[in-house]
Structure 1
Amino acid sequence: MVVVDDDALVRAGLRMILGGAADLDVVAEAGDGLDAERVVDEHRPDVVLMDIRMPRRDGLETTRSLLSEGARALRAARGDDLKVIVLTTFDADDMVVQALRAGAHGFLLKDTEPRRLVEAVRLVAAGEPILSPSVTATLMAHVATGGGAVDASDRRRSDAETRLATLTDREREVALAIGRGLSNADISRELYLSVPTVKAHVSRVLDKLGADNRVQIAIVVHDAALT
């Protein structure tokens, strides 16, 4: 794991918290986006904790670069996989919204309890993007309104409706549940499906929507104003 933050004290605190878990290892730190790209290329971590507001190059631009199609293809060719978790002070920061659109696997508030921070990193490393119901509603409402850009919001809604129309009724139900922040286990209980069946539906939804992760499915659902 790599920790990226322009505040040395924050980096030290995160390293101390995460380093206390036997199964987590902070291999490097970076103080801004430019250093982050170099460090990620050198150490090839599984997860990056990325602060958003930094000098020289912010976390948004860096996330876009690290998760671009070309960068992902290069890592896949050498057997690497990278997941980015956005660190922020505010749960509805517009830059966080943009980072999620760029492919970030979730976000954490900087005042997250240490235990929950460790758990969240483990989940993301295991392929489960962070969609906390307690903050998803606020964040996704911000996404759906487009931050006041009416025309852009209308275009996103139309595009989202077109993409969702490719789903079967059951896949649509699963997509809507993901948009509400439900886990696979929650969806299993709500729709009376086995967890393996839910996972199969999620895989098909990801493929049909052209989404990289559950966060992006949720964004499509909220863009369509279905939650």
Structure 2
Amino acid sequence: MGRRRAGRAVAGRGRPVTVRVLLVDDQPLLLQGFSMILSVEDDLQVVGQATDGELAVAAVAELAPDVVLMDVQMPRLDGIEATRRIVADHPAVRVVILTTFDRDDYLFDALAAGASGFLLKNADPDDLVDAVRAAAHGHALLAPEVTRRVIERSTGQDAGPAPAAGSPGAAGEGIPLPSLTQREREVLVLVARGLSNAEIAREAYVSEATVKTHVSNVLAKLGVRDRVQAVVAAYEGGLVAPGG
């Protein structure tokens, strides 16, 4: 079970900010397990459960969760279509797809539907908790094992060795990365390696607040909405290479 961690504090008040979570899965045992994992966290509150996509859409309208943990294969309405409807009707709600099926079609359909994250059900409980928090903060999140597939699909590359120096797609070539400072480029490389803000702060010997500022600047300058798109831009720009 995930380790207990302190909740986020409201600026100037010191009270934890509660993230409201809706669980959606057609297997009652999994719903119970996910609820147990999340309920021990001070800053997370499971506000409801649904066993199919139609019930999930209705529950979002009724309960106004911040984050929805969404299964894919369910009766009546699957998780992909439910995600599409939820995001269209409630843009502020973040949906994290949670599935046992490590399939490209699910991954890309989920992202196209507006999901903010994609995790496999065999992920560590702490990763599940972190995914909910990341989504609540407006960050996109992908399981490490699928991040590279997103990059390869988005850049039109196949899995394989990194391009040789001087070849198309090698570091330093590709689509320009406009007006990024050297520090912002360094932060983008670390983001592309899958590091969290806290890990980047330790790597770069700066505060986490400074990292958040750099990441925000990178997203704004690249004109992208989240970290996943920023990573794709880093690969397209040749700042990093697949497998590198």
TM-score (norm 1): 0.71
Number of residue pairs the alignment of both structures matches = 206
Q: Is the 8 A contact 1:103 1:216 kept in 2?
A: no
Aligned to 1:100: 111
Partner of residue 84 from structure 1, selected from 95, 98, 104: 95
Matches within 5 A, 1:15-164: 15-68=35-88, 71-72=90-91, 81-133=92-144, 136-137=147-148, 140-141=151-152, 143-145=154-156
Aligned 8 A contact 1:103 1:213 in 2: no
Looking at structure 2, the residues matched to 126 and 213 of structure 1 have their Cα atoms a distance apart, in angstroms, of 11
| Contact residue 100 and residue 215 of structure 1 kept, 8 A | no
Aligned AA (1:121): V
Letter in 1 for 2:178: T
Q: CA offset at residue 9 of structure 1?
A: 2.9
1:100: how far off? 3.1
User: Is residue 23 of structure 2 the alignment partner of residue 10 of structure 1?
Assistant: no
Q: Match for 2:68: what amino acid?
A: V
Q: Structure 1 residues 147 and 33, CA, compared in 2 at 3 Å: closer, same or farther?
A: farther
Q: Is the 8 A contact 1:97 1:143 kept in 2?
A: no
- Which has more radius of gyration? 2
Q: Is the 8 A contact 1:105 1:124 kept in 2?
A: yes
Give the Å deviation of 1:10.
2.1
For 1:9 and 1:192, how far apart are their aligned partners in 2? 43
The answer to whether the aligner puts 1:166 opposite 2:178 as a matched pair is yes
Distance 2:99 2:158 in 1: 18
In the alignment, what sits opposite 1:186?
199
Could you tell me which residue of structure 1 aligns to residue 5 of structure 2? none
Q: Deviations over 1:24-65 (max 9, x none)?
A: 221111222222121111100111101122333322233233
The CA deviation string for residues 50-99 of structure 1, in whole angstroms up to 9 with x for no partner, is 1122333322233233334x642xxxxxxxx4222110214453322332
Paired with 1:56 and 1:131, the residues of 2 have a C-alpha distance of 27
CA distance in 2, matches of 1:188, 1:17: 28
Q: Is the 8 A contact 1:103 1:212 kept in 2?
A: no
In the alignment, residue 36 of structure 1 is paired with which amino acid? Answer: A
Structure 2 vs 1, CA of residues 114 and 102 (structure 1 numbering), >3 Å: closer, same or farther?
A: same
If each structure's helix is expressed as a fraction of its own residues, which one has the higher value? 1
Structure-1 residue corresponding to 2:14:
none
Instruction: Pick which of 12-21 and 35-44 moved more.
Output: 12-21
Does the C-alpha gap of structure 1 residues 139 and 29 become closer, same or farther in structure 2, counting only changes over 3 Å?
Answer: same
Residues 23, 46 of structure 2: 8 Å contact kept? yes
Q: Distance in 1 between matches of 2:32 and 2:94?
A: 21
Task: Tell me the amino acid that sits aligned with residue 166 of structure 1.
Answer: P
CA distance in 1, matches of 2:113, 2:221: 18
Q: Distance in 1 between matches of 2:199 and 2:63?
A: 36
Aligned match of 1:153: none
What amino acid is aligned across from residue 95 of structure 1 in structure 2? Y
Superposition RMSD in Å: 3.3
Structure 2, unmatched stretches of 5+, are 1-20, 160-168
TM-score by length of 2: 0.67
Please say which of residues 120-129 and 32-41 is displaced more in the overlay. Answer: 120-129
Residue 18 of structure 2 corresponds to none
The 3-state SS of whatever aligns with 1:12 is helix
Q: What is the letter of the counterpart of residue 3 of structure 1?
A: L
Give the percent of matched residue pairs that are identical in Structure 1 and Structure 2.
45
SS of aligned partner of 2:45:
coil
Q: CA deviation at 1:128?
A: 4.8
